[in-house]
Amino acid sequence: MNPRYKALFEPIKIGPVTAPNRFYQVPHASGMTESNPRVRAAFRATKAEGGWGVVCTGAVSTHPSSDDSPLPFARLWDDNDVRSHALVTDAVHEHGALAGVELWHGGAAVMNRTSRISPYSPSGIPWAATHVGFMGLQKPRIMDKSDIRDVIKWQVAAALRARSAGFDIVYIYAGMGYLGYQFLMPETNQRSDEYGGSVAKRTRFARELIEATKEAVGDTCGVALRISLEELRGRPSDHYESQAHEVVSLLSDVPDLWDVKMDSSPTDCGASRFRPEGAHEPVIDFVKQCTAVPVVGVGRFTSPDSMVSQLNRGVLDLVGAARPSIADPFLPNKIAEGREDDIRECIGCNICIASWHDGVPIRCTQNATIGEEWRKGWHPERVTKNVTNESLLVIGGGPAGLEAALIAARRGYDVMIAEAATEFGGRVNFEAQLPGLASWGRVTDYRMNALKQMPNVQLFPANRLQADEVLEIGACNVAIATGSSWTRHLYSSLELPVNELNGPNVFTPDDFAAGRWPSAGPVLVFDFDNYYLGGVCAEALSKHGLKVHYATPAGHASAWTIMTNEQPYVHQALAHNGIELSTLTLLDSFDGEHAVLSDLFSSETRRIDAAAVVIVGMRLPADDLYHQLLEREAEHAQAGIHTLQRIGDARAPGAIAHAVYSGHEYARQLGDTEHALYLRDLPITEHEPGPASVN
């Protein structure tokens, strides 16, 4: 270990328990509930095995009145839930780490769609969400004092269950718009009793939750307060630097640990495109000055130098992480072993967060094994060795090809990678040069760094192989990872790609990647891909000095980025760059000087000036070589080819995360004659289901 990182490995007390080091996997959503307890246990256990000193759950509901369905959320409502969570704590303890549980009541921020209980709220103020997945017609009830006592009672009951399940740290949650936060904020707390009004009164609910939890389990469990401070930090206080300073000072040493964060998911878990490493520090840097108990916070820390800087400068006592612990569960161990260059760094794409919005177990662009530890037996650092002494030819050195090559090489295959371009990386090479996407280059950097050190890997850049050459090479296995191509298809009112728009001034992102950009504006970017690339291309064109108009049939720019917390900032970026925006809009025609647009619903048309059009819409696999080889299948045996498969975008275009997963899955299964899709997890039902009561 590099001695300058020694401080990261010092133990620290959190109330009655001691964390073995300063690596703290803060609570974060995983999409894993009591429906898949074994998947969840293996997922958290892998982080403990990788050296995280504390491993926490995501939000765990204390009562049916905190019901986030259809989004996945965990529960501690009965004995079956206790046993389900015990799988996690047992697995985490096996590796010497502490287990933390984020007990949570959503208040008015949940719709209680399944329980059908009116949401709880300090003053009946609803959360007017703009994300359809969070919208609901049921408005909240105004809590009376008996409701407050009930919520505290449910917190205590859940804390006792948490201790029975084996948790070492128990949370109170007063952040991210949930019930504890709703009491702290004057917009949602308009009460005139002892729970509303002044900052001290608005803090009372959180204090009572902490004190009741400590009384119940504080002799054996650390009690943590997770709190959002962004809005409070910006609000004046009569006697303190800000209301955030006042709240922390009033509750100073009441909890055993402060877990400090931002107020909304887009600011708390900002994508790297808009938020740098350590972006939380200007908001939470004061907390340690106001309390003697430990403080943990996050900042998408991927560099050990950034981590140790937080400790040495007195910003944090424990380095919190969610996304970096997903991208590389073994990050702490690699630092301990002096292998910082082997860290699989988070790229900040937020595909992990999108997984939760999708209601599925967590996914990661950098780490294809995440969520598959139990289902498929995939370990992030170990693979099954190849015993057949076979070779693999990977054609295409993009995300899928590099991942397939890396995993196959680790398994012991002799691997050759042929890439048509002069540099490996595929689409990542181009996209990482676009505004805000530099961190995405880590997808290539991590894999190339590993491959270059492996004696059983041969790299062949600037090699565009033809079918004859593939047959002559004599590789036992051939993986076609030749990517995909953007088309010039338009979009119909039936929400389907239709006939192509061709012409000398009609571009796609493939043209940009090849160095062909519009030379004059105005430029119309027509985007129905709906992810990041249309908006980023519009930004890039604007930065080239061209006037840009962005149009999309969706209701927002880069509409799917609401799943990755980017959407507010996409709109801000377009506005900042002076880019005109048209939503719910179709592109009908383009004559080289003007484009005709129509309203998606009304079909009303209008004409705008446009010297060029960029279509970011549909992709098709670039799989000609695969089909050429397939047509010559009779020659495979003589050429020594046992298997021929497409992987990544050459099989089915998708996000970079899909390409990496495809390459990983291919290499893991290489040589298997039979394989199951995955193990099916089931809930634990050792006890007969019981009633869920409001009181």
Q: Is the pLDDT of residue 19 over 70?
A: yes
Mean pLDDT of 265-289: 95
Mean pLDDT of 18-43: 96
Domain boundary residue among 555, 588, 620?
A: 620
- pLDDT, tens digit, 9 for 90 and up, residues 51-103: 999 999 999 999 999 999 999 999 999 999 999 999 999 999 999 999 999 99
pLDDT of residue 404: 98
Task: Judge residue 640's burial from the number of C-beta atoms within 10 Å of its C-beta, 0-12 exposed, 13-18 middle, 19 or more buried.
Answer: middle
Mean pLDDT of 297-310: 96
Residue 527 and residue 616 in contact, taking contact as beta carbons nearer than 8 Å: yes
CA angle 161, 41, 310 (to 5 degrees): 90
The verdict on residue 686 lying in a domain is no
Residues 626 and 616 in one domain: no
Please choose, from the candidates 37, 153, 47, 145, the residue with its C-alpha nearest in 3D space to the C-alpha of residue 100: 47
Split into its structural domains, the chain has a count of 3
Higher pLDDT, 442 or 265: 442
Please choose, from the candidates 78, 79, 99, the residue with its C-alpha nearest in 3D space to the C-alpha of residue 90: 99
The verdict on residue 674 lying in a domain is no
Question: Token pair of 539, please?
Answer: 């930004």
Question: Token pair of 54, please?
Answer: 């504390």
φ, ψ at 625 (rounded to 5°): -60, -40
Question: Token pair of 485, please?
Answer: 């191509």
Residues 639 and 613 in one domain: no
3: part of which helix (H) or strand (E)? none
Distances in Å between the Cα of 51 and the Cα atoms of 24, 323, 438, 528 are 10, 15, 28, 43
What is the Cα–Cα distance from 39 to 32, expressed in whole angstroms? 7
C-alpha dihedral, 639 to 640 to 643 to 648, nearest 10°: -60
> pLDDT band for position 691 (50/70/90)?
low
DSSP 490: E
What is the Cα–Cα distance from 595 to 523, expressed in whole angstroms? 10
The verdict on residue 360 lying in a domain is no
pLDDT of residue 692: 59
Residues 460 and 561 in one domain: no
Q: Looking at the DSSP assignment, which residues form a beta bridge with residue 523?
A: 548, 612
pLDDT of residue 387: 81
CA angle 130, 134, 139 (to 5 degrees): 95
Q: Is the pLDDT of residue 676 over 80?
A: no
Query: Residue 161's domain is classified under what CATH number?
Result: 3.20.20.70
What is the Cα–Cα distance from 312 to 291, expressed in whole angstroms? 17
| DSSP string over 251-286 | HTTSSSEEEEE-SSHHHHT--TTT--TTTTHHHHTT
- pLDDT, tens digit, 9 for 90 and up, residues 553-607: 999 999 999 999 999 999 999 999 999 999 999 999 999 999 999 999 999 999 9
Phi-psi region of 52 (alpha: psi -120 to 50; beta: other; left: phi over 0): beta
- pLDDT, tens digit, 9 for 90 and up, residues 333-348: 999 999 999 999 999 9
Residues 592 and 640 in one domain: no
Higher pLDDT, 674 or 235: 235
Query: Which residue range forms the structural domain that includes residue 587?
Result: 488-620
Q: Is the pLDDT of residue 695 over 70?
A: no
Q: Looking at the DSSP assignment, which residues form a beta bridge with residue 258?
A: 225, 295
Question: Token pair of 623, please?
Answer: 């799989």
Please choose, from the candidates 137, 158, 141, 135, the residue with its C-alpha nearest in 3D space to the C-alpha of residue 59: 158
The verdict on residue 373 lying in a domain is no
What is the Cα–Cα distance from 248 to 695, expressed in whole angstroms? 32
- The structure tokens 């491959």 sit at 451
Tally the C-alpha atoms within 13 A of residue 645's C-alpha that lie toward its C-beta: 18
Name the H helices within 253-398: 265-268, 281-284, 287-290, 304-312, 323-327, 331-336, 351-358
Residues 309 and 426 in one domain: no
Residues 654 and 606 in one domain: no
What is the Cα–Cα distance from 440 to 428, expressed in whole angstroms? 7
Q: Is the pLDDT of residue 257 over 50?
A: yes
pLDDT of residue 482: 98
Name the H helices within 646-687: 656-669
Residue 408 and residue 244 in contact, taking contact as beta carbons nearer than 8 Å: no
> pLDDT band for position 130 (50/70/90)?
confident
178 is catalytic: yes
Q: Looking at the DSSP assignment, which residues form a beta bridge with residue 173?
A: 226
The verdict on residue 675 lying in a domain is no
Residues 456 and 514 in one domain: no
Residues 252 and 282 in one domain: yes
Residues 76 and 162 in one domain: yes
Residues 616 and 628 in one domain: no
- pLDDT, tens digit, 9 for 90 and up, residues 104-120: 999 999 999 999 999 99
Residues 572 and 636 in one domain: no
Note if the pTM is more than 0.85.
Answer: yes
pLDDT of residue 694: 43
**Catalytic residue (one of 5, 173, 178, 532):** 178
Amino acid at 577: N
What is the Cα–Cα distance from 442 to 453, expressed in whole angstroms? 17
- Which of 312-321 are b and which e, b meaning 16 or more Cβ less than 10 Å from the residue's Cβ? eeebbbbbbb
Q: Give Cβ neighbours of residue 256 (< 8 Å, ≥ 6 apart).
A: 14, 15, 16, 169, 214, 218, 222, 223, 224, 293, 294
pLDDT of residue 389: 85
- pLDDT, tens digit, 9 for 90 and up, residues 455-479: 999 999 999 999 999 999 989 999 9
Please choose, from the candidates 284, 158, 308, 288, the residue with its C-alpha nearest in 3D space to the C-alpha of residue 223: 158
Antiparallel, parallel or unpaired: β 585-590 and 594-599:
antiparallel
Q: Is the pLDDT of residue 670 over 70?
A: yes
The verdict on residue 113 lying in a domain is yes
Domain boundary residue among 562, 589, 620?
A: 620
Please, what's the largest Cα pairwise distance for the chain?
Answer: 85
Please choose, from the candidates 261, 318, 284, 245, the residue with its C-alpha nearest in 3D space to the C-alpha of residue 25: 318
Query: Residue 555's domain is classified under what CATH number?
Result: 3.50.50.60
Query: Residue 469's domain is classified under what CATH number?
Result: 3.40.50.720
Question: Token pair of 394, please?
Answer: 């990977």
pLDDT of residue 693: 52
What is the Cα–Cα distance from 445 to 483, expressed in whole angstroms? 19
Mean of pLDDT over the chain: 96
Q: Give Cβ neighbours of residue 567 (< 8 Å, ≥ 6 apart).
A: 266, 556, 557, 558, 559, 561
Residues 228 and 111 in one domain: yes
